[in-house]
Structure 1
Amino acid sequence: EDMPVKSFCLVQDHCYYHGHVQDIKDSSVSVGICSGIRGFVRAKRSVYLIEPLAGSVDGDHAIYRHENLRSRRATCGNTNDTYYDHEPRVSRVYKASGWKSKPMVHEQRFVEMFLVVDNAEYRHYMRDMHVIKARMLEIANHVDKLYRPMNIRVMLVGLEIWSYMDMFDVSADPDDTLTRFIQWRKNTLLKNTKHDNAQFITGVDFQGDTVGLANKFAMCRDESGAVNQDHNENPFGVASTIAHEMGHNLGLSHDATYCDCRTSYLSKNCIMADRVGKNYPETFSSCSQEELKNFLEKINPQCLLDKPSPDKLYGGPVCGNAFLEPGEECDCGTVEECTNPCCNATTCRLTKGSRCAQGECCESCQFKQAGSLCRSPAHDCDLAEYCTGSRAECPSNAFKMNGLPCNHNQGYCYNGQCPTLEQHCEKLWGSGSSRSYSLTFDHMLLIVSIAPKNLTFQDIKCGKLFCTGGSEFPITRQKAILWVHGVQCNIVVDQSETEDMGMVPTGTKCDHNKVCYENVCQDVQLYATEGCSAKCHNHGVCNHQRQCHCDPGWAPPYCERKYSDTGKNTVVISVNMPSTSGLSNPLFRDANAKGNPCSRSADISQPTFVESTFTQPCTPLAVTVPCHPPPE
């Protein structure tokens, strides 16, 4: 009985739907009809819930208003509000990313979500596996619906139900439970099933009025996940909580009072409000939309660009779920929601005469001409992509080789980004922050003189980053303050055992033709990319994969022939250049070691350590003066 049992859910017919009420503007419907009808209908600012009537043998259903939704838990004080979380936990700051592709805000993203149900939840539903599976599918369907307007599809790729016993101690303290769940995910779940985000659903009543907790900025990382209390008999309650906590994983903060939430019909609050009343929100606020845009532009987590393998979707492939799967030529959703003239929604086949139904290189149901621009460069470390003339999809995103100058020679390209000190200060401290210029050359020389002999002046520029301005607290909610000649220098305090957010990021320029790598200022030639573009016949440049990225009108692999010379039915592909030894084009090779403590300069004050009152409880700080001054 103590051995895990794996089963596969094969759905014979599609029974989870999104849609609207015919002829009613701004209406919305989300229902499941697998076993009776269960879901919600919104029309003319009224919301109704429908579900099978308990105990009925004649298939009777109950329809009731949203404000009469039944809750499992008491509310806090004299309000009807329940808190999602008081503050999310910060996972870590992302390194400059983009090694597979560049950020494209309007490009559809996919979150491969894995649901884990604890034993308390299993027992709450009378150990009925069929009921629990149906409930989890309803929850996943509604989370997907909430994110679709943001051009994000949330796809359920796995469901694990702890019917025998919990795999770790599920505590009423949400912080402890999140820590244990993330550790279990790292050690067990990630090794068994590929997924981007894991959501834990528990029947345990969390302490206080909190029903969820998540790691912020954690999407696509080991810490990508959240814990959620199933606090309502209707599945939309926990679905709203999951959508909220997943928002934190995507870098979203709680809504402020100035955020525009006028499009929320169900509630005065949007999804990222810090609390929720009886009416569950349906939309993301203007603030959330802007934060998500920034997250996708600056961070661009790669896992969201990978479509899940169709055979990995929980429930199996289905025509009508707006997701292209094996055996389908197209999939524009259900018959009711499909508006694509190129696709037959009933058969998931292309209509007569159509060669494609969707994609950046599909126009009027036909492939665009070869060489047509399908993705513009987002910045000067990026490359444009062009249609091949034989596919509806734009080619995979590509970017320039590491080591090329960028941002008006303020930096060097590294993994599709142009990392700078100013940029990292803004990531840590928010808008208005910049690097500190208060520490002088003499300060650095003094620190070098008492530092290890193998540490050079340039190496100090790859150490701790000193910033001024910005928010009162950094993203870690903990800081150290040094006063230098009357000027306040801020330092991020990070208790992570794996990497220090406050260090100058890998790839940042530290001198002419030099970059920070493994916290040491090294020659830019360590990327070993010199001379690659010479093989592209002056009609292209080498990209990050050491392939020729050809100019418009020129065909890969070596950009020596024009598209017009390749023949109408010829398909051309690029090939890899011979690789070089050493540290050629490193991808996300982050240094783990933090700097050793050292004595402070007489010109620098003893640091003052401050911790935000909004952080989760943690161990007392024991921090010494950083031995790295600010980069010049």
Structure 2
Amino acid sequence: MAVNLEASYRMTASRDLQNAPHHNETAGGTAGTLADEEQASTHNSSSRESTNHNRSNEMHKEITLPSRLVYYLNKESESPYHKLDTKTKDQQKHNKAVHLAQTSFQIEAFGSKFILDLSLNNDLLSSDYVEIQFNEGKEHLNKGGEHCYYHGTIRGVKNSRVAISTCNGLHGMFDDGAHTYTIHPVDLTHNSESTSRPHIIEKAPGSQISKVPNHTDTERKVSEQPFFAQTQWLRRRRKRALNVPRGVFEEMKYVELMIVNDHQMYKKQRSSYIHTSNFAKSVVNIVDSIYKEQLNTRVVLVAVETWTDKDRITIGPDPVKMLHDFSKYRQNHIKQHADAVHLLTNGTFHYKRSSMSFFGGICSTSRGVGVNEYGFLMSMAQQLAQSLAQNLGIQWEPASKKMKPKCDCTENFGGCIMEETGVYHSRRFSKCSIADFKEFLNRGGGLCLFNRPTKLFEVTECGNGYVEPGEECDCGSRTTKHFIQDCFGDCCKKCSLSNGAHCSDGPCCNTSCLFLPREYDCRYAVNECDITEHCTGDSGQCPPNLRKQDGFACDSNQGRCYNGECKTRDNQCKHIWGQSKLKGLFHTGPPQ
């Protein structure tokens, strides 16, 4: 069972939120030109810091022991199991780790019990996905990569959302409609044989926090003046775009994204190339869960590049310079096809915001880029969601625009993703942000978003009778022709073997779901040229059908084995001339 180590253990998250995203910025089309929102006044910046400080005091944490829900033999209901590993039991069949297509976890925290029902996010990685690292200046490419990234829902909770990775404990977030929770292990290292693994779970505040400072009317007028002239056209086009006809927005779109990690990010992840790549994939997995739900857009990873030996550009406090340097690096050195390439850096920007990207730059080799300052998993995902949205033509929303009802989110507690007020763990785009994206598409922007990339992992279908990657068993369904009669239902639940089961079907699997011993006959020889097969002791299936070598003597040395059959002169004549003519063909007596 998942239990809280310290039921009353709660701490503020002010220390963690020092690394949370302050704000995202967008670079304009020419060097050094920023989007119109950059002219936000200084007092708004300071008030945002105050808002972040107040928000941090409301963040709470607990330590919990999550468990994976499994079926035990002869039990109809799920039970908690302390091992969180989601790798399938037949890893020897694959050249890389394969994780369960479906799984469930139970998490107890803040006086509630959450059951997360998950399915592998098969759209996350493209078929051409590669991971790139450097050794003494030489580039090394690894095709594919471990896929342990899930999307799902909270059982029994409508409109809930989950994005979790399971490569090394549970990393990710879940949202029950009232609060957003993030979870990660206390330590990246763990003894798999230990009984449990402590995790830290954090709950974001669920009540609306004032996004607009309590200025006087005079102060508010002064702060809004820089926006007025530049945003009249934006307000007009938003009004037109709110009710656009069905078309490109409703069609599913695909952002083929490449992530680059700088050397400090690599060192931040304990100089582990695998940890660094997995962190980047976890970030994108969360962003994809947001985009697919609200923008009808999937975010598909085509590559993750990690600067394992040194940085390829100068990492400094000026994000504008970094953005332009990174744009040049992409044009000159990155060969992979991508609609956008974003840098994740562990450097610190001396700027009011934590990321920067070119506005409307998607599909452009020179402008489809962004730079993002390091933060914890959820804050990093929010930054990437914001900077990628800028590439997609979505504007920032200052507090003055947020006051307009048409720009508000459908929820009133978590804030909007593109708000310019330091909202932490915001999870929805406002109506005006969605209108921006619709207008961008209807202007002809984002032409590259409509080619669907081939998936690295195809969706499995539990219940079709075929054991596919990510499944340990599949008994089929009684309602279809794919039902496997000799498949033992107690051994296989939801296409995963019950805890303690070795197998679910096959001539080498007994009714107790255990392998039959070696040398047990599982397929008898059908003739002299066939061979009886025996169980191997480590599989429920009988080995492949074997035969004696061609030319082996058979039929009392009157014939020879060929392709598993005993070939004799008589048999060949019967095959050619038929049984009735065989006697006349070889008759040697006097003529009748």
TM-score normalised according to structure 1 size: 0.43
TM-score normalised according to structure 2 size: 0.45
Radius of gyration: which is bigger?
2
